[in-house]
Amino acid sequence: MFKNKYLLLTCVFYMFFSCKTDKPINFTETNITSENNQIVEINIPLANTDNDAAKSINAATKDYVIKALQIGESNNTTEKSVEESIEDFNQEYTDFINDFPESTQKWEAQIDGEVIFKAQDIISISLTSYTNTGGAHGNLNISFLNFDTSTGKLLDTNALFTDIEGFKSMAKKHFEASIKDKDLLLDPETFQLPENIGYSDDGIILLYNTYEIAPYSSGILEFSIPFEDAKPYLVFNRF
């Protein structure tokens, strides 16, 4: 009888501990602004689950926003909050207008994000930033942030694949198929994986930002590889 009670208590403790540590991570679209903000718009997904993994994901997401708003070189961006970075961006614009009162140039910054994939072991977030501080055109950038769900650790590209060279060879075929109807001067022999690779419901997304492999006029290049093709090379492949 005592043994059965011990086993029952052990099971209850295990179930309680598992529920506590494996709490699913959920997200809320969050608008972030500051008191004196007039030219920055930020809408990003932030994890609303109370655990260390969620805090780590939020920290990395906010760090992207802070860096996207950075003008010039700085060594202390990690010490800033998003709100402080918004204030700094607005102040830079105010200083610009004070120095060049005849200018009619309007500055702006828009940062949006969405969770594009969420599974038991990996979460992918897409973040799009557009900043315009003058010049012929603004700066548009899309980034994929991939996280280990259990720890909230930000994963680099190598951590996504068991055989990155094998994946690269397979991806090259999909790349060539995706651009065959486009008027692009690209040498297939110099194919490289993009800086941004993420998970989505359609498969593995590969995205080249402007200037990454082609002129500005080519814009952003993006294509997907179905999971059934990519699965042999994936570390996170439980679907």
- Across the chain, how many H-helices and E-strands are there? 5, 9
- Give alpha helix (H) positions in 73-218: 82-99, 164-179
User: Does domain 160-239 sit in CATH 1.20.20.10?
Assistant: no
CA–CA dist 231, 234 (Å, integer): 5
Q: Are residues 113 and 46 in contact, defined by beta-carbon separation less than 8 angstroms?
A: no
Q: Looking at 16-20, 146-150, 189-193, which range is the least confident one?
A: 16-20
**CATH code linked to domain 1-155:** 3.30.565.40
- In our burial notation (b when 16+ CB lie closer than 10 A, e otherwise), range 129-143 reads bbbbbeeeeeeebbb
CA–CA dist 202, 215 (Å, integer): 27
With tokens 């080519």, the residue in question is 218
CA–CA dist 36, 43 (Å, integer): 17
The residue type of 179 is I
Is 113 exposed, middle or buried (CB count within 10 Å of its CB: 0-12, 13-18, 19+)? Answer: buried
Using one digit for the tens of pLDDT, what is the confidence trace for 109-168?
Answer: 999 999 999 999 999 999 999 999 987 788 999 999 999 999 999 999 999 999 999 999
Q: What are the structural domain ranges in the chain? A: 1-155, 160-239
Using one digit for the tens of pLDDT, what is the confidence trace for 201-219?
Answer: 999 999 999 888 776 667 8
- Fold agreement between 1-155 and 160-239: no
Q: Is 0.75 surpassed by the pTM of this model?
A: yes
